[in-house]
Structure 1
């Protein structure tokens, strides 16, 4: 029985119903408090409020950072929208914590007080967008900067008491502002949770279930915001609901294996899509012989010395993604996320830069083996392979296999490219290395030595 089958067996419709019932308990408690004000006990304690909100904001900020890093690394729009949802909640919750009297200001402030409903409402928009299928994340950086700018402007307007945030207080009760924010927010959280539930039903996972529960709890927090009485139990309830929402997601993240923690949120194209890209292979010619004649510590020193200078060339300078390093072998991809239309040129430039950096190392270590580099361009499958405890996001297909074969034809200290890569580099200076016969192909492939890219 595989993992998916096991999860389907555990999470039966009855279990889904039970989970839904548990998530609805806070609403039942809110109704009870609203209907019987005697139960809605007043408790005003500013330090508890400050630390509760600050803790909630911190958890949300941690999630925003971790999901944002995963989104950029894998080019996944869904995870990026989730990150923006956490970021908006974290930022505005942090501002709300500062609304606690005697923390930043002596008296309540409308801007800081309204920060929570505004932040949670904005997060509902990103939560809804995360449930859709969106391609690419080239817009992600601009959107994140825009959100941070909005937070900064809101904070400045609140501190300076600029209109419309100049009032000394805003009662957190059922007024028009909160209702206008709450109604669409609850609907958006509900739609997002429903769409995630459909995904979970096809592909059950703890991470998806955590996100569904978080959306439901945040929607309930917006309802509590409308009906709560200031500093009463109903008012404390929506603070606790938001904390519970983020704790659930953090718990889900902690339980996941460290590699590809947010893989269960990836869109289908990230998990298994097709993309035109360029693949670079590099290894050290004569590495086996060198290893046999030297102590393992010396071999390790040699490899680390090389990688410290060549990896920054292909990653930092030319935007490649290191897919794997096995011994002396290095596999790098370009356009894996679909955001590098000039991937062939980037890969070629990275190959030449790698050899230049390696040559500088060899000048002081003449006995060390030299790199050879092979590059190929074509369509490959971008896939998530393996299961918990051994998952990797990689590219597979004939394009990858041919790149490895081309690297085997490259002369020591040189860069070899295939015809598909050469076709995308019309001004490159190349020399033919002859025909390369490939298993399973009727016609041999001509391989070229890349001398220079040209202007």
Structure 2
């Protein structure tokens, strides 16, 4: 757990562009900073002058002026202490609690110092009158010093947990000090001071040091998050330290003695004046001291404001632009954060702007998503359902209809092409209907709620155009599936769609496995049956054989009558292409056997499989071309199919080597094949593990 929230490094600020000036709060402007430093230096310079020139340090004893000066400033201090204490309770912040104790302690002792003014309660001066305020300042220096520390979460929680105890202890201390210093004859504090005067050096200098350290530590906080109220608190701590130094120089009623009274007055009036100015500027006292809080509190407050803004944005989204819908939530938030009417109005406008910006982002996101879905290989129903679901997330109650018998029905209304001719849209109460077209012809309509701005209308029109493109793509793809893909292997069709350059004439040398299959006895069967029965038989066999090839990743490059040629490892790469081809061949024979079992007069498949190098590519002319493979490996596969017995699969030696020990084969020895000068070693494949 981090122990120091205020020391977390802030990200470096970007360098201002030429001609730009970084914004600084008025109290942090360099010129005002110089004036502020001079104000702190002037009292010390005056003190030095009075001490160095004793003849200037004249005596002025006026009890009434002293009493009202002290009591008046004590009252101001009590008010400040109460305000800061309320802020500490509201924000649950340990630093504000400690600062409130500083004000309350000094206010209490300052009041007791005023009550001890000679001839008011006591007839003469007392020891308590002399040392009461320095003692109070020293006690207040302790919470001042702790408040300037970068308290971590545990330390802050410990301070808050003891808040009531600290306040009760302060009250008891003040009551006790009042009793012992104001009840004449009770203690030495109510007696006249010693003949040599009160010795205050032990109190003044440690107290001044603590206030100086506190001011320096608070200045570090101010550097990270500049604030006029922080400047006021730093000034107050500095003046309190100077007052302790001034109080060291005696005797009473001389100008140096009056100076430390005036420094106390300046310290507290400075903070009160800053609070008043900030209250006038903001119109509310809810956040007067937020800048003084710990970093963890600042983050928590920021999160609360973010949550409030989110609540307002959500309300605006639900209620639309009607002012009656916005007023209750704005008032509720104003009460929650103690905002005035102007601040509530600013929050309301900020919520509207943020809601509009988020709606715009959501609608742009929906437009992008519909564009992503406008791709091939997505069915029309799926496309429209997914797109409509996404659009409704951004636009609300969007409705879609498709043309049926020349009209589009949406809800209780129906539209035709004439409804969109004049303006390009059609109207419904609170809605705008945009046409969906395919090849410039009305194919459907999209009904969208009326937008709040012109941007909404433009986006809705763009959305309808994008959805029209998606619908047209889906329908063109469906035609392509029928007219293109069913006339060639899906792998070849997909490759051509992804890279049309693959349709160029030419090819490359690739190791592949070729599978040839035809029907033994097809000619005899054709002579004794009608053409219709031939087509029926071929379609049944091919309907069973084609899935066997495709399921194993093969590419069927041609049908020639009763024969087919399939390639593995072309055009799509396959690591185990020989094994896949062998499995496809065995599956084809099993499927063909099931068909032939119920038709004894049907011819039987015979299959040849061979592996080797072949030239693969597009062969033909610019007007007509086809994907094919040429080479010795393909020719050998055709020859092996020719020597195979019906219902069997014959493979070449290269394919056998790729299959390994998992293949069950019967050697056929070296075969003399047509077109081959040397014998070709062949095997009958019966099973694969």
Q: Is the 8 A contact 1:46 1:101 kept in 2?
A: yes
Q: Which residue of 2 aligns with 1:148?
A: 171
Q: Aligned pair in 2 of structure 1 residues 172, 57: CA closer, same or farther (>3 Å)?
A: farther
Counterpart of 2:191 in structure 1 is 167
User: Could you say what the CA RMSD is over the residues aligned between the two structures, in angstroms?
Assistant: 4.0
Equivalenced residue count is 302
**CA 1:171 to 1:238, structure 2 compared with 1: closer, same or farther past 3 Å?**
farther
1:99 to 116, 123, 126: 116
CA distance in 1, matches of 2:345, 2:206: 38
CA drift of 1:89 comes to 0.3
Distance between the aligned counterparts of 2:195 and 2:77, measured in 1? 25
Q: Which residue, out of 193, 198, 209, partners 2:231?
A: 209
Contact kept? 1:58, 1:90, Cα under 8 Å: yes
5 Å-filtered alignment, 1:421-436, equals none
Mapped partners of 1:261, 1:276: distance in 2: 18
1:252 pairs, out of 270, 274, 280, with 274
In the TM superposition, 1:275-424 aligns within 5 A as 326=329, 389=343
Match of 2:254 in 1: 232
Report the equivalent of 2:203: 181
Q: Distance in 1 between matches of 2:161 and 2:272?
A: 27
| 1:263 aligned residue | 290
Please give the TM-score of this superposition, normalised by the length of structure 1.
Answer: 0.59
**1:66 Cα shift?**
0.5
1:376 corresponds to = none
- Asked if 1:70 is matched to 2:118, the reply is no
* Contiguous gaps of at least 5 residues in structure 2: 1-15, 312-317, 348-392, 394-689
- Aligned with 2:105 (options 60, 69, 88): 88
Say whether the 8 Å CA contact 1:221–1:239 is kept in structure 2: yes
Deviation for aligned residue 1:120: 1.1
- Matches of 2:37 and 2:99, distance apart in 1: 22
- In structure 1, list runs of 5 or more residues that go unmatched: 282-287, 297-323, 334-382, 394-438, 440-455
Matched, 1:135 2:159: no
* Distance in 2 between residues matched to 1:90 and 1:260, nearest whole Å: 23
Change in 2 beyond 3 A, CA 1:232/1:84: same
1:54 aligned partner: 71
CA contact (8 A) 2:116 2:126 kept: yes
1:113 alignment counterpart: 130
Q: Which has the larger radius of gyration?
A: 2
1:420 paired residue number: none
SS at 2:120's partner residue? Answer: coil
In 2, the alpha carbon distance for the partners of 1:95 and 1:9 equals 37
Contact 1:23 1:217 in 2 (8 A): yes
Secondary structure class of the residue paired with 1:105: coil
1:125 aligned partner: 142
Match of 1:33 among 40, 43, 50: 50
Q: What TM-score, normalized to structure 2?
A: 0.40
The residue number in structure 2 matching 1:368 is none
Q: Which residue of 2 aligns with 1:22?
A: 39
Deviation at 1:112, TM superposition (A): 3.4
Detail structure 1 runs of 4+ shifted over 6 Å in the superposition: 274-277, 327-333, 390-393
CA distance in 2, matches of 1:55, 1:10: 26
What whole-Å deviation, never above 9, does each CA across 1:51-80 have from its counterpart, x for those lacking one?
A: 111111111111011000110111011111
**C-alpha distance in 1 between matches for 2:331 and 2:53:** 71
The CA deviation string for residues 148-182 of structure 1, in whole angstroms up to 9 with x for no partner, is 11000111112334445243225896x54x11111
What SS is found at the alignment partner of 1:38?
helix
CA contact (8 A) 1:197 1:212 kept: yes
Change (3 A) 1:218 1:325: farther
Residue in 2 that maps onto 1:346: none
What's the CA shift string for 1:233-271, capped at 9, x where partnerless?
Answer: 111111111000001000110011323111111111111
In 2, Cα distance between equivalents of 1:76 and 1:190: 23
1:194 aligns with 2:219: no
Change beyond 3 A, Cα 1:326–1:156: same
User: Would you say the 8 A contact 2:215–2:234 is kept in 1?
Assistant: yes
SS at match of 2:266: helix
Distance 2:196 2:277 in 1: 36
Q: 1:248 to 1:169 in 2, by over 3 A?
A: same
In the other structure, the counterpart of 1:157 is 180
- Deviations 1:306-335 (Å, cap 9, x if unpaired)? xxxxxxxxxxxxxxxxxx9737979999xx
Q: In the alignment, is the contact (CA less than 8 A) between 2:25 and 2:227 conserved in 1?
A: no
- Return the alpha-carbon distance in structure 2 between the equivalents of residues 45 and 10 of structure 1: 36
Cα distance in 2 for partners of 1:10, 1:231 equals: 35
Change (3 A) 1:105 1:170: same
Q: Secondary structure at the match of 2:60?
A: coil
- Find the aligned partners of 1:261 and 1:274 in 2 and give their Cα distance: 13
